[in-house]
Structure 1
Amino acid sequence: MRRPHFLLVILAIFGFVLFVATSQLRNQSFDGTASGIEGRVVIAAPVLVVLFGGDRFLAANLEAMRLAATGMDGGHSDIGYLIRSQQEVAKLNPCHEDNYYLANGLLTWGGADREGSEVLRRAMQCRFWDELPAFFYGFNQAFFDKDIAEASRALDLAAERATDNAAGFRKLAVMLRAESFADEKLALDYLIRQRDAAHNDPKLQQMLDKRVVRLQGLVSLRDAQRRFESENGSLQNLGQLVDYGLLTSLPEDPLRLGYELKDGRIILKKLQIAGIEDQP
């Protein structure tokens, strides 16, 4: 009668030893130059399952609570830690509501759109009753990756699942296909609504506000770029917008990532994460 309990204890001890060994190996191989890798420890999903007696939903809940409490401090977020933690939570329970919502607000709009979109993709597949993951994922596919086909597919899926917002989702999908709107201004309106909806969580609202300010900077830069190019031809560098008097100064990004001119278009700089950026 005691044997199953004894086996669980053995498995838990084995999982803990495996985790310690993995952590030590990672510390020995870390060269101290990789941005986003150092810092807080993140336990791999299989180890968490063992440590919590095989209950992956309990493990996901507690890990999500831990990352929410430790990944944000004084209005600043540890993006590298959040990426790794939220990816593990998504493996444990892709349906986790807090995980996908935080991933969209903090990762996607904090310079790690690919990693945030992956958490949303898992949630979209799992939460078949919920239109929001599909909406967030679709919007991000359009704004960041310019993948109109994938964005439209996700928005159509959101419309199928929606109640009150079905018409709005379908309209947005049609607009995306027609490419008939200024996406950065639509994105700003969307992000402002997200920030305002977080009024019950001042810490989250403060961090989303920084994303709003960041996007406002992009809107002002692109407006200035359009005015510049209507009279002077292609923009060669952002400094020309100040030199020609279109801006008094370049906008400051509160996330300190900044903006860049790429293929003739001003975009948000992305977070550079060693070991992730090189992946296909």
Structure 2
Amino acid sequence: MKKLRILPLLVAVWALFAWASLQLRDAPRLDQQSVLRVRLPIPVQLAYAGGDPYLAANLNVFRSLMVDARISEGETYRVQGQLQADASFFNPRHEDNYYVASAILPWNGQVEAAQRVLLRAAQSREWDMWPAFFYAFNAMYFERDMARAGHWAEVAAQRDTSNADSLRAMAAKWYERGDDPQMALNILKAMREQSRDANFRALLQARMARLEGLQALRVAAAAYRAEHGAPPSRLEELLGYGGLPALPQDPLQLGYALSDDGQPVLVDHKR
């Protein structure tokens, strides 16, 4: 009898949900091929997927993959970070989700979201070295947490015996080193070589060019310091130093800046 009384209530709730969805169908919306604006609460996402968490995860990953690689708008990447974190909640083992998150999110100011995705993948995919490795790299490069970076690099070494020595050597270096554009460049090169998606490869190529520009600026900044005994106050002061004929152009049009101590850095969306 109790089940019979609950059934009409469930039907009414589902009918209300369906009616609300129909009302939103014709509402004006932004071009979702270019930008992201909407992230529904997790229970609503699950309801749209018919209660299937794996389908809900796939839908979020599909939405993330549909963003044009030429987009460099911060709000889009913020929403993408939320969608991919939600996907990892539904299915932490989703391979495409952690791979895309590692390649895109941290480079666009969404380090926390990327790390959430990667940590869940690293903890659940115990046979897979890559989420552990990418998590370690982000901890080193973006978060400057060398102890955590070294720990997860060693976890990656335990999962890939063929590269264990190299990974452990890398972990040792990460305990000692901080900001390393060349390390980041090597990671992006490897990801580009593994990808078959032309659009995705173009995005990685743009980010590689951006890092190469940063390297050139840092060589010039070191030469400037050696000659003047002080750091530069403007990027333009680096022209002519270290073989720098002109300021590098950022393909993503975000640009470069100087840190408080005069070190060239990448400009991100947070700034």
Same-fold call, TM > 0.5? yes
Q: Which has the higher contact order (CA 8 A, sep 6+)?
A: 1
* C-alpha spacing 1:98/1:174, structure 2 compared with 1 (3 Å): same
Letter in 2 for 1:248: P
Distance 1:238 1:59, change over 3 A: same
Contact 1:257 1:269 in 2 (8 A): yes
CA–CA separation in structure 2 for the residues paired with 1:230 and 1:16: 68
- The 1-side partners of 2:56 and 2:12 are apart by 18
1:217 aligns with 2:213: yes
> Root-mean-square deviation (CA), in Å?
3.1
Q: 1:236 is matched with which residue? A: 233
Cα distance between partner residues in 2 of 1:18 and 1:125: 38
Q: CA deviation at 1:269?
A: 1.5
Q: Report the CA distance between 1:20 and its aligned residue.
A: 9.0
Within a 5 Å distance, the mapping from 1:108-187 to structure 2 comes to 108-179=106-177, 183-187=180-184
Equivalent residue pairs, number:
255
Describe the superposition over 1:31-87 as per-residue Cα deviations: whole angstroms up to 9, x where unpaired: xxxxxxx8442323221112223211121113212331x2225x4464244223212
Is 1:201 paired with 2:197? Answer: yes
- Does residue 188 of structure 1 match 2:185? yes
Q: Which runs of 4+ in 1 moved over 4 A?
A: 2-21, 243-246
Residue in 1 that maps onto 2:260: 263
Percent identical residues: 35
The offset of 1:246, in angstroms, is 4.7
Question: Which of 78, 95, 98 pairs up with 2:96?
Answer: 98
CA distance in 1, matches of 2:231, 2:175: 26
Larger Rg: 2
How far apart are residue 145 of structure 1 and its match? Answer: 1.8
Q: Distance in 2 between matches of 1:190 and 1:245?
A: 25
Matches within 5 A, 1:84-95: 84-95=82-93
Instruction: State the 1:239 CA deviation.
Output: 1.6
Counterparts of 1:11-50 in structure 2, within 5 Å, are 12-13=14-15, 15=17, 39-50=36-47
SS of residue in 1 equivalent to 2:55:
helix
**2:242, 2:176 → 1: CA distance?**
34
Paired residues of 1:110 and 1:255 also in contact (CA < 8 A): no
More displaced 10-residue stretch of structure 1: 230-239 or 217-226: 230-239
TM-score, with length taken from structure 2: 0.81
Code of the residue aligned with 2:137 in structure 1: it is F
- Structure-2 separation of matches of 1:133 and 1:154: 9
SS at match of 1:260: strand
SS of the counterpart of 1:267? strand
Q: Is the 8 A contact 1:45 1:89 kept in 2?
A: no
- 8 Å CA contact 2:223–2:242 kept in 1: the answer is no
- Equivalent residue of 1:164, what SS? helix
Whole-angstrom distance in 2 between the partners of 1:132 and 1:143: 16
TM-score norm. by structure 1 comes to: 0.79
How many Å separate the matches in 2 of 1:195 and 1:169?
A: 20
Gaps of at least 5 residues in structure 1 are 28-37, 274-280
**Residue pair 1:134, 1:158 contacting (<8 A) in 2 also:** yes
Offset from partner CA, 1:83-122 (integer Å, 9 cap, x none): 2321221222222111111111111223433332232222
- Per the alignment, do residues 117 and 17 of structure 1 end up closer, same or farther by CA in structure 2, a change over 3 Å counting? farther
Matched to 1:201, the amino acid is: D
